[in-house]
């Protein structure tokens, strides 16, 4: 799956040490299916050569508004008209100021000024020293650029080339790639607040042992990413998993089913959609030991009593906000057999409008999955695909169900 297939990106480079990251960003954009046309300012060429960017983009690099390769000598017009988006990475403080005031004394700034505002979006990835980034002038410029319709992708935090530490670093290439991909996704959940649970829970037996399952959390994390791409504010309540937080998503880490329940009840107060993807333990040890349980030489395991965990989905689905329609609840069922029968019964038992079923052993830990959507009208199969592709399809399904009827 190439998320940027068919997209033509003009990648602008301005002067800054972060130009070295632009090489990897260009490569990542091309790998994701985009064609990339690089345009560099003169100062950018002090940090990275046009030859490098030409090799990575497989296209000649432009740097002068007087480039004789253009028959009409209007590179600023031709390049901007061909683009699906202009991405400036890195974008220096000086270039931000130039964009704000409509400066046009080089090809890149001239091209940005000449772009058709209604169909060629401008995205910038600032890169500068922390003091420059925090300066009131830069922050005024950032705010006004956003007000003018520019998408400012934000900055990273960490060590800087000058030896200082703080905000102002250009985001990493993979972060920028995710932001560009997200930019082009339909914003079908704009204005919604989505609460997603993901991963397993861990129910302690003693300080070093516990009961859990094989859920990797990948499906839930993919749904959180897809919901953010669709324009929603997203809260992700995650059990113990080793996955990176999707860009733009607020993450709450929990361990046990009780922890997850408390986090969900709290977050559901502000949510408009709840997607319960987590594989929550049905039972927990009644009395976890304070110290590691030792073998006693009898050859017999310790006697363990269990109590049933509260049903997180049913609890949230029965809340006044869910019952009034202010919170749309979606459940997940990971089964080992008879998926349709079990998913249909679970949807009725939980009292939710939509239940998503899958075969757990066939998907736990995998990067792909197949889904069965069950609602009051019946069932719909979604064939096996990557979990991100399925997550986007599910988000679109949910969005369509939230639309008021046209009748």
> Cα separation of 272 and 327, whole Å?
4
Element (DSSP H or E) covering residue 306: strand 306-308
How far is 301 from 294, CA to CA, in rounded Å?
10
Q: Which of 19, 26, 150, 162 does the annotation list as catalytic? A: 162
**Interior/surface letters 227-239, b for 16+ CB within 10 angstroms, e for the rest:** bbbbbbbbbbbbb
Number of residues that this document lists for the chain: 407
Report the C-alpha gap between 337 and 18 in whole angstroms: 52
Return the SS3 of 205.
strand
Between strands 35-40 and 85-91, the pairing is unpaired
Q: Let me know: does 334 contact 197? Beta carbons within 8 Å.
A: no
Q: Is 162 a catalytic residue?
A: yes
- Examine residue 90 and say whether the peptide bond preceding it is cis (omega within 30 degrees of 0): yes
Q: Identify the residue whose tokens are 């772009």.
A: 115
**132 CB contacts (<8 Å, ≥6 apart)?**
93, 138, 168
Instruction: Provide the sign of the torsion angle of the four alpha carbons 64, 68, 71, 73, taken in this order.
Output: positive
CA distances from residue 362 to 213, 215, 335, 390 in whole angstroms, order as listed: 14, 11, 10, 15
Burial of 245 (0-12, 13-18, 19+ CB in 10 A): middle
* Extended beta strands in 148-213, E state: 151-152, 156-159, 165-169, 193-198, 203-206, 209-211
Give the torsion through C-alpha atoms of 343, 395, 279, 208, to 10 deg: 180
**Residue of 241, 171, 250 lying closest to 200 (CA atoms):** 241
Identify the residue whose tokens are 């560099």: 40
> Dmax over Cα atoms in the chain, in whole Å?
91
Which positions are catalytic?
162
């Amino acid at each position: 799956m190439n998320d940027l297939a068919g997209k033509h990106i003009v990648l602008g480079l301005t002067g800054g040490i972060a130009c070295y990251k632009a090489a990897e960003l260009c490569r990542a954009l091309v790998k994701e299916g985009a064609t990339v046309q690089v345009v560099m300012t003169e100062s950018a060429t002090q940090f990275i050569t046009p030859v490098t960017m030409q090799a990575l983009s497989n296209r000649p690099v432009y740097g002068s508004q007087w480039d004789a390769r253009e028959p009409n000598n209007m590179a600023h017009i031709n390049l901007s008209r061909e683009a699906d988006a202009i991405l400036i990475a890195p974008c220096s403080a000086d270039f931000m100021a130039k964009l704000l005031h409509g400066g046009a004394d080089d090809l890149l700034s001239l091209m940005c000024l000449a772009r058709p505002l209604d169909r060629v979006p401008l995205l910038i990835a600032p890169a500068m020293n922390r003091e420059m980034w925090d300066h009131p002038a830069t922050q005024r410029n950032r705010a006004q650029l956003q007000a003018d319709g520019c998408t400012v992708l934000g900055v990273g935090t960490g060590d800087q080339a000058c030896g200082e530490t703080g905000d102002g670093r250009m985001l990493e290439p993979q972060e920028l790639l995710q932001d560009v991909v997200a930019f082009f996704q339909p914003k079908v959940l704009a204005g919604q607040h989505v609460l997603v649970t993901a991963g397993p829970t861990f129910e302690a037996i003693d300080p070093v042992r516990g009961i859990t399952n094989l859920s990797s959390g990948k499906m839930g994390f993919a749904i959180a990413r897809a919901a953010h791409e669709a324009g929603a504010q997203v809260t992700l309540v995650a059990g113990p998993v080793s996955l990176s937080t999707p860009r733009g998503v607020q993450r709450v880490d929990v361990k046990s089913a009780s922890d997850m329940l408390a986090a969900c009840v709290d977050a559901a107060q502000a949510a408009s959609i709840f997607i319960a993807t987590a594989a929550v333990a049905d039972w927990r040890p009644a009395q976890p030991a304070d110290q590691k349980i030792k073998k006693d030489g009898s050859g017999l395991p310790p006697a363990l009593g269990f109590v049933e965990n509260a049903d997180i989905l049913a609890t949230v689905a029965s809340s006044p906000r869910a019952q009034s329609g202010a919170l749309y609840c979606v459940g997940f069922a990971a089964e080992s057999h008879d998926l349709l029968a079990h998913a249909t019964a679970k949807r009725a038992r939980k009292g939710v409008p939509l239940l998503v079923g899958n075969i757990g052993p066939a998907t736990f830990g995998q990067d792909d999955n197949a889904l069965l959507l069950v609602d009051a009208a019946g069932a719909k199969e979604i064939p096996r695909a990557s979990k991100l592709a399925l997550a986007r399809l599910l988000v679109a399904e949910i969005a369509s169900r939230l639309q008021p009827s046209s009748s």
